[in-house]
């Protein structure tokens, strides 16, 4: 592949992590919890782990304990404040002062029941948010009040990734069942909905739906990554462009009708387009791949799995970097990576 990337491991944190953002060129913040995924199996209940905010400044790592469940989101919303989003409804929203190093405001979310994805819209001073109960909502960043909240998914299934095209006022979002939605932000009106069941027509061998976990929009193209190892491309109107699946041996399969055992597939957790031709996908098994629209694929990061027998590349976020396009990748077991694309002159 012609594209050149600089890959750097930023940190290996001691407990679970889910989302990373860059505050400035010397500082990043990471949302996570006090659960040591490398040593402790996950109990089947909420609330067993408390939220932790990590601050990495050059080579120094500090952390701040939160009165919340796991932190899934950290967003920079002003020069002095971070928004923190928790997994469950107790103290879901937190406003953290970078200067004072503490939470200065918090609020529970009785509608959404937990924060799964956000985008801060600076021009509107509000957060666009996906939630655990399938609500799409906006939150005022100063008051943490929910301004608008509309249930999008059938039966309250979880909404996952979210993309916003500001010049068109269009939202793209995906859910646990494998649905992709195109939504007019004003009034949260669903313009179109497509389902991965239209492609696969089956659950996996464990009865799970295709779960559209990875989602990225760039210049009229949408790339989605799903539980079945599928990489699907749509245009801006959700018309299907292409579809293929990635197996653990890095071979690809174009026939969606065959029900492969899930143990053979790369279950996709995150996706991010770099430019018009190249994009990244991150898997549940600790892998990150570079792909292009012609179907070429290359593994660029391989992080070992621990006691959980998985180490999801949960999120990929593009962050401001004067050197080029930087994407921060957060793995569940605490590893944080940077992938930098510097355009050639």
Cα–Cα dist 170/173, whole Å: 10
Query: What's the pLDDT score for residue 46?
Result: 87
Is pLDDT of 111 > 90?
no
With residue 195 as reference, give the H or E element that holds it.
strand 189-195
Mean pLDDT to the nearest integer, 106-111:
93
Which tokens sit at 322? 């004067």
Q: Above pLDDT 90, what percent of the chain?
A: 92
The residue ranges of every structural domain in the chain are 5-341
Query: What's the pLDDT score for residue 343?
Result: 77
Q: pLDDT per residue over 268-287, tens digit each? A: 999 999 999 999 999 999 99
Query: What's the pLDDT score for residue 59?
Result: 86
Cα–Cα dist 63/15, whole Å: 11
Q: pLDDT per residue over 164-206, tens digit each? A: 999 999 999 999 999 999 999 999 999 999 999 999 999 999 9
Query: What's the pLDDT score for residue 309?
Result: 94
Residue 71, exposed/middle/buried by CB under 10 A (0-12, 13-18, 19+)?
A: buried
Mean residue pLDDT of the chain comes to 95
Q: pLDDT per residue over 31-56, tens digit each? A: 999 999 999 998 888 889 999 999 99
- Quick one: which of 14, 119, 17, 129 has its CA closest to 76? 119
Query: What's the pLDDT score for residue 43?
Result: 84
Q: pLDDT per residue over 203-220, tens digit each? A: 999 999 999 999 999 999
Query: What's the pLDDT score for residue 345?
Result: 53
Query: What's the pLDDT score for residue 201?
Result: 93
CATH of 5-341, one of 3.40.50.150, 2.60.40.1220, 3.30.360.10, 2.130.10.10: 2.130.10.10
Query: What's the pLDDT score for residue 155?
Result: 85
Is pLDDT of 143 > 60?
yes
Is pLDDT of 156 > 90?
no
Residue 90, exposed/middle/buried by CB under 10 A (0-12, 13-18, 19+)?
A: middle
């Amino acid at each position: 592949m012609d594209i050149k990337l600089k890959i750097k491991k930023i940190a290996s944190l001691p407990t679970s992590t889910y989302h990373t953002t860059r505050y400035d060129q010397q500082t990043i913040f990471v949302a996570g919890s006090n659960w040591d995924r490398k040593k402790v199996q996950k109990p089947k209940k909420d609330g067993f782990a408390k939220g932790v905010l990590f601050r990495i400044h050059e080579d120094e790592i500090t952390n701040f304990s939160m009165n919340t469940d796991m932190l899934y989101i950290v967003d920079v919303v002003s020069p002095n404040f971070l928004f923190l989003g928790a997994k469950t409804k107790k103290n879901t929203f937190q406003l953290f002062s970078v200067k004072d190093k503490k939470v200065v405001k918090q609020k529970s979310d009785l509608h959404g029941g937990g924060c799964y994805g956000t985008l801060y819209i600076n021009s509107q001073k509000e957060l666009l948010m996906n939630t655990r109960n399938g609500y799409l909502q906006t939150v005022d960043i100063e008051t943490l009040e929910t301004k608008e909240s509309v249930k999008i998914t059938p039966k309250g299934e979880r909404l996952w990734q979210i993309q916003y095209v500001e010049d068109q006022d269009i939202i793209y979002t995906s859910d646990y069942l494998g649905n992709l939605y195109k939504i007019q932000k004003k009034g949260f009106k669903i313009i179109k909905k497509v389902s991965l069941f239209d492609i696969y027509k089956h659950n996996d061998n464990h009865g799970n739906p295709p779960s559209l976990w990875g989602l990225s929009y760039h210049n009229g193209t949408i790339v989605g990554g799903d539980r079945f190892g599928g990489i699907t491309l749509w245009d801006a109107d959700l018309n299907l462009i292409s579809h293929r699946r990635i197996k653990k041996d890095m071979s690809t399969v174009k026939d969606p009708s065959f029900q492969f055992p899930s143990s053979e597939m790369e279950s996709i957790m995150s996706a991010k387009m770099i430019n018009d031709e190249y994009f990244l996908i991150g898997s549940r098994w600790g892998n990150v791949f570079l792909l292009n629209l012609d179907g070429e694929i290359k593994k660029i990061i391989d992080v070992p799995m621990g006691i959980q027998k998985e180490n999801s590349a949960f999120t990929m976020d593009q962050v401001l970097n004067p050197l080029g396009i930087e994407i921060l990748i957060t793995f569940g077991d605490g590893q944080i990576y940077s992938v930098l694309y510097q355009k050639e002159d």
